[in-house]
Amino acid sequence: MAAVKGSCLCGKVEYEVEDPQTLAYCHCTRCQRWTGSSLAGVVIPKENFHFTKGEELVTRYESEFAPRNFCSNCGSSIYDDLGENYFVAAGLMQDLDLTPSFHMQVAYKANWHDIGGDAPQYAEMPG
Ligand SMILES: [Zn+2]
Ligand SMILES: [Zn+2]
């Protein structure tokens, strides 16, 4: 895919993601708490992520393993900072059109979450 735009719930923060290719679900308990469910996101090199509006509203929470970045006005989850890569929440990108590549941290998924589809499921990290 070419560049895809994302926007938070209040619309004050906007960003662009270049060339997203991998859509994954993380079922860890940190993502569950952060989003209210599993986190569906695209994994991209951090240089492929650019804010186009409202970067000053973005707040970082130093969560264990991966700091969380969110809109301080509306609370929308924007991205999870994995270091070299960002895990960017898919729900903010209305034009994103990718088939899920895999589910990770499935060992920690919510009891009520019934995972469907054919994407591979990994108990912890893929590979
Ligand atoms: Zn917002
Ligand atoms: Zn997670």
How many CA atoms does the CB half-sphere of 82 hold within 13 Å?
Answer: 15
In a domain, residue 96? The reply is yes
Q: Report the percentage of the chain scoring pLDDT > 70.
A: 99
Which one of the ligands is nearest to 72 CA? 1
Distance 26 CA to ligand 2 centre (A): 4
In a domain, residue 88? The reply is yes
Under DSSP, is residue 99 helix (H, G, I), strand (E, B) or coil? coil
For the entire predicted model, the pTM comes to: 0.94
Tokens of 97: 């059109």
Q: How many domains does the chain have?
A: 1
Distance 47 CA to ligand 2 centre (A): 21
Which one of the ligands is nearest to 106 CA? 2
How many angstroms separate the CA atoms of 125 and 109, rounded?
13
pLDDT at 2: 83
**Which one is predicted more confidently, 1 or 102?**
102
Distance 18 CA to ligand 1 centre (A): 21
pLDDT at 1: 64
In a domain, residue 72? The reply is yes
Residue 26 CB neighbour total at 10 angstroms: 25
- 22-26 and 100-104: which strand pairing? parallel
Q: Indicate the burial class of 24 (C-beta count within 10 angstroms; 0-12, 13-18, 19 or more).
A: buried
What CATH number should be reported for the domain holding residue 53?
2.170.150.70
Distance 15 CA to ligand 1 centre (A): 12
Judged by phi (left if over 0) then psi (alpha if -120 to 50, else beta), residue 44 lies in beta
Distance 65 CA to ligand 2 centre (A): 9
What range does the domain containing 16 cover? 4-24+39-103
Model pLDDT for residues 51-101, shown as the tens digit of each residue: 999 999 999 999 888 999 999 999 999 999 999 999 999 999 999 999 999
Residue 44: closest CA among 68, 22, 13 = 22
